[in-house]
Amino acid sequence: MQRMTTQAEWAARAKAVLPAGGFGNFDPSMFIREGRGSRVWDEDGNEYVDYLIGSGPMLLGHGHPEVLEAVLEQLPKGQTFFANNALGVELAEDIVNAMPCGEQLRYVSSGGEADMYAMRLARAFTGRDKIVKFEGGYHGMSAEAQMSLAPVKQVNFPQAIPDSAGIPQSVADEMLIAPFNDPDYIRSLLAEYEGQVAGIIVEPLQRIIPPEPGFLQLLREEADKYGIVLIFDEVVTGFRFAYGGAQELYGVTPDLCTLGKVIGGGFPLAAIVGRADIMAHFDKAVVGADGWLMQLGTLSGNPVAAIAGIKSLEILRREGQYEKLRGFGHQVQDMIRKALDPVGIGYRIVGDPTLFEIVFTDAKPRTYRDVLAGDAGAGKAWNDTLRAHGIFKSPGKTYPSLALTDADMEMTSHAISQAANAVAQLG
């Protein structure tokens, strides 16, 4: 029998061909062999309850039988065509009908692409150059998005700090950085740059930080006041917070939103969705050569991803799905409180029951800097212990899925108890 290749052996092979030994996404020492339902297994055979779920896409769990059936039916008919296909149109109809801002849609292959094009659309539509983003907000890997994503150095707003080499200063000059959840600052910023701002891009839930009551509505009002395109980055929250995304949950409708993750059912697919008059800039016949935004992609709207998305959204429309998802989130949050409250160390559960994390702090985090100020040592002990006891998750997010079971909850409860003990020992 051939000996199984271990994770350590795979890591050595990866270092020879991959910069930093990985894909750039997650801990490069981890090699996931397979996933089924709510569980994943690594190349050493270790089994985990999966709260990473591909960083969000696998809301239904791994290998959902109905999604697999739909995909397997499509595969013999063709994987991609670089041409319109009926499945892509059908999925677009579902998405546009679901999103409050939805009138038209354009496909891309990743959420980062969608965010990049959304910002470019705002510039094309308004004829302005500057974009407002919020410190700590994640919008992919474009040059604009890599401004003040995770700055260690804290500078005065609205100065933009690049998080990557290779970005020209000219990009930073067109980005205005604001603190999340600060109504007074955003009002003064937009007044100061009146007539210059093309768009405001924001995660309705910034990573894990919820908007303060009225903050998103303020952005809507200020965008209307100054003729600015309001963009909700719903790559994470779309079809997770509610069927109509965070814009449905919070009751604020943007001009554009970006979607990814869930809409592809585990396959590469993303989209820009929004008002028809703004989306018209993708149509040269409508806006002319000077107003046209060129966009194409080899895999945009490919039928395999489209059918996986269609089936995933069909399942999510069934009665009780979001109540079930939020119920799992509440269960895990209750386990955390039960385990950590007696420890006597300050902590906050930050986020939404469908997406949250622990920040070890006494104060309620309202901004990126508040989260950054949390106890990193306690956070590391917490996450390391969870993984050692069979919980697979990001160091910064916990993603419940609809595939979770009673057995998963028992395993999660035990791991959380052990993690609380590890944090207690730090005190």
**Residues written for the chain:** 427
| Residue that finishes a domain, picked among 297, 316, 335 | 316
Q: What is the Cα 11 distance to its own chain's centre?
A: 27
Q: Residue 32 CA to chain centroid, in angstroms?
A: 21
Query: At 144, which CATH number?
Result: 3.40.640.10
**Three-state DSSP state, 344:** coil
pLDDT digit string, tens, across residues 272-313: 999 999 999 999 999 999 999 999 999 999 999 999 999 999
Q: Is the pLDDT assigned to residue 1 strictly greater than 50?
A: no
Q: Are residues 344 and 306 in the same domain?
A: no
3 part of a folded domain: no
- The pLDDT of residue 152 is 86
Shared-domain flag, residues 277 and 341: no
Same domain for 297 and 399: no
Q: Which of 50, 94, 115, 233 is catalytic?
A: 233
Q: Is residue 215 part of a domain?
A: yes
**Residues 212 and 273 grouped into a single domain:** yes
Assess if residue 188 is contained within a domain.
Answer: yes
d(CA 134, CA 398): 22
Q: Are residues 50 and 96 in the same domain?
A: no
Burial of 83 by CB count in 10 Å (0-12 exposed, 13-18 middle, 19+ buried)? exposed
Nearest Cα to Cα of residue 233 among 186, 199, 201:
201
| Shared-domain flag, residues 47 and 91 | no
Residues 83-96 have pLDDT tens digits of: 999 999 999 999 99
In the predicted structure, residue 358 carries a pLDDT above the cut 60? yes
- Domain final residue pick, 316, 336, 356: 316
CA distance 94 to 300: 17
Q: Is the pLDDT of residue 214 over 80?
A: yes
Q: Is 393 a catalytic residue?
A: no
What pLDDT does 260 receive? 98
386 and 414 housed in the same domain: yes
Asked if 109 and 245 sit in the same domain, the reply is yes
Same domain, 253 and 387: no
Read off the pLDDT of residues 11-44 as tens digits, 9 standing for 90 and up: 999 999 999 999 999 999 999 999 999 999 999 9
Compute and round to an integer the Cα radius of gyration of the chain.
Answer: 22
The pLDDT, as a whole number, for residue 113 is 97
pTM for this structure? 0.97
| CA neighbor of 256 nearest in space, from 289, 234, 236 | 234
Residue 403: give the domain boundaries.
Answer: 31-63+321-426
H or E element, residue 192: helix 183-192
d(C-alpha 245, C-alpha 53), whole Å: 18
Residues 360 and 417 in one domain: yes
Other beta carbons within 10 angstroms of residue 387's beta carbon come to 17
Nearest one of 139, 142, 122 to 281, comparing CA atoms: 122
pLDDT of 177: 98
pLDDT band at 225, cuts 50/70/90? very high
Q: What is the mean pLDDT of residues 359-379?
A: 96
Instruction: Quickly state the pLDDT bin for 3 (edges 50, 70, 90).
Output: low
* pLDDT exceeds cutoff 80 at 247: yes
What does the pLDDT read at residue 153? 85
> Does a structural domain hold residue 379?
yes
Among the three residues 316, 339, 363, which one is the final residue of a domain in this structure? 316
Distance, in Å, from the CA atom of 268 to the CA atom of 109, rounded to the nearest integer, reads 5
- Domain CATH code at residue 403: 3.90.1150.10
Q: What is the DSSP string of 312-331?
A: HHHHHTSTTHHHHHHHHHHH
Provide the CA 379 distance to its chain's centre, in angstroms.
21
Q: Region 366-370: what's the mean pLDDT? A: 96
Residues of the chain above pLDDT 70, percent: 99
Task: Give the residue from 247, 395, 413 showing the smallest Cα distance to 328.
Answer: 413
**Average pLDDT score over the chain:** 96
Query: Which of 133, 261, 311, 393 is an active site residue?
Result: 261
pLDDT confidence of residue 2: 52
**For this structure, is 48 an active site residue?**
no
Q: 399 catalytic, yes or no?
A: no
Mean pLDDT of 210-223: 98
Partnered with residue 49 across adjacent β-strands are: 39, 391
Joined tokens for residue 389: 């006891």
The answer to whether residue 11 is domain-embedded is: no
Domains: count for the chain:
2
Question: Do residue 51 and residue 95 come from a single domain?
Answer: no
The verdict on residue 52 lying in a domain is: yes
Name 2's Cβ contacts closer than 8 Å, sequence gap at least 6: none
Residue in 296, 343, 390 with CA at minimum distance from that of residue 52:
390
Query: Is residue 7 assigned to a domain?
Result: no
Q: What is the pLDDT of residue 4?
A: 72
Catalytic residue among 48, 51, 117, 138: 138
Cβ burial, residue 376 (10 Å; 0-12/13-18/19+): exposed
Average pLDDT over residues 163-175: 95
Convert the pLDDT of each residue in 56-85 to its tens digit.
Answer: 999 999 999 999 999 999 999 999 999 999
Catalogue the E-assigned strands of 209-255. Answer: 229-233
- Check whether residue 290 and residue 381 sit in a common domain: no
Phi first, then psi: give them for residue 76, nearest 5 degrees.
-65, -15
